[in-house]
Amino acid sequence: MKYLLKLSLIAALVFGAFASNAQSTVAVTSNRGDTICAGTNVIFHAVATPMDTTLRYRWMLNSTVVGGTMPFYGNNALVNGDTVFCLLTNAAGDTVLDTSNYHIMTVNASVHPSLITGGDSVCMGGTLTVSDSVAGGLWHSANTSIFTVDSVTGVITPVAPGQARVVYTITTGNCPDSVRLRIRVEVPGMPLTGPAEVCIDSMFRIFDTARGGVWVLSDSTIATPMFQPGRFQALAAGTLTVYHLVNNSCGSYNDSMTLSIINCDTVTAVGNTPVVSKGLSIVPNPATAGSTISVSGIYGTLTITDVMGRVVRKEDIAPAATYTITGLTRGVYVLSIVNQGQLYTGKLVIE
């Protein structure tokens, strides 16, 4: 009743104080409708008929003039019962030509969840229960390939190692509000894997199933860590031990592996027997992708590795054969052939 009385008073004020012109009318629409959630930004749009760019718009919130003179008005702080409408005026703004329809707003309050508690990591094979101090919401996983979550109890069940967000949503009427927390699914540390031999100046990687942890090198003069965990660069010849210390939701682990850093242009080893490489004569060098190169007529199994120590090509070549380079991108590669107990190596540059 009080809203009808308010509108009646406003209408009486408007129509009593200003003259109306039936040739110009105005209608207002709301991009969010008249029922919104608290804090929603609503844009009201006024359209005059006929269209006339000289006309001006006087926006009214309840009985107060708000906004400017443009045909748009926005507000993100409306409360229940607020009334928004528009007066269409002449260019000078001293004559009201029409009064728009009224938007009486219904504003529903939102219930806001609190911070999610219970932990942010879980081990594969286990479970994690997360909670929120504000009851009445539902849980869901942003990535069910990493973990699933019971929508009511908040029990997280890992599916695969990785990270994903758990989301808690409370909906009041048509007004949802959510909080999120990133959850890590972890695995125990396992035996390290990586190359047994690495050429000087090459980068190499040591793998562990467990993410994170601390990597330690036995000798920082022959290798150095790179910007990514588990990646290193060989600096000088020698024997290197790599340690990985892990402490996560699966427990504490400590593993290590030993590898040899060798000079691929001079001295290397076959098995445990040191030998002197005679070197491969690679022509042309540098080369381009698609080039045909000669490898000194040495035959056997040709292995090509990149600077990370990864094998990118391996195939048998015949005596006096040439080799066509395909599928190699620009960079430096190490070519090696074992023939009658002798290791032949050489570097190839692809431009």
> What's the pLDDT at 143?
96
The answer, yes or no, to whether residue 277 has pLDDT greater than 50, is: no
> What's the pLDDT at 340?
60
Q: What is the mean pLDDT of the chain?
A: 82
Distance CA 36, CA 33 (A): 7
Distance CA 15, CA 234 (A): 87
Report, as an integer, the average pLDDT of 317-343.
Answer: 72
- Here the tokens at position 261 are 């850093």
Q: Answer yes or no: pTM beyond 0.75.
A: no
Distance CA 304, CA 332 (A): 10
Pairing of strands 72-75, 103-104: unpaired
**Structural domains in the chain?**
2-108 (2.60.40.10), 121-186 (2.60.40.1080), 197-262 (2.60.40), 270-350 (2.60.40.3080)
pLDDT band for position 321 (cuts 50, 70, 90): low
Q: Would you call 279 exposed, middle or buried from its count of C-beta atoms within 10 A (0-12, 13-18, 19+)?
A: middle
Percent of the chain with pLDDT over 90: 39
The answer, yes or no, to whether residue 239 has pLDDT greater than 50, is: yes
The answer, yes or no, to whether residue 273 has pLDDT greater than 50, is: no
pLDDT band for position 274 (cuts 50, 70, 90): very low
- Tens digits of per-residue pLDDT, 143-177? 999 999 999 999 999 999 999 999 999 998 788 89
The answer, yes or no, to whether residue 269 has pLDDT greater than 60, is: no
Q: Would you call 17 exposed, middle or buried from its count of C-beta atoms within 10 A (0-12, 13-18, 19+)?
A: exposed
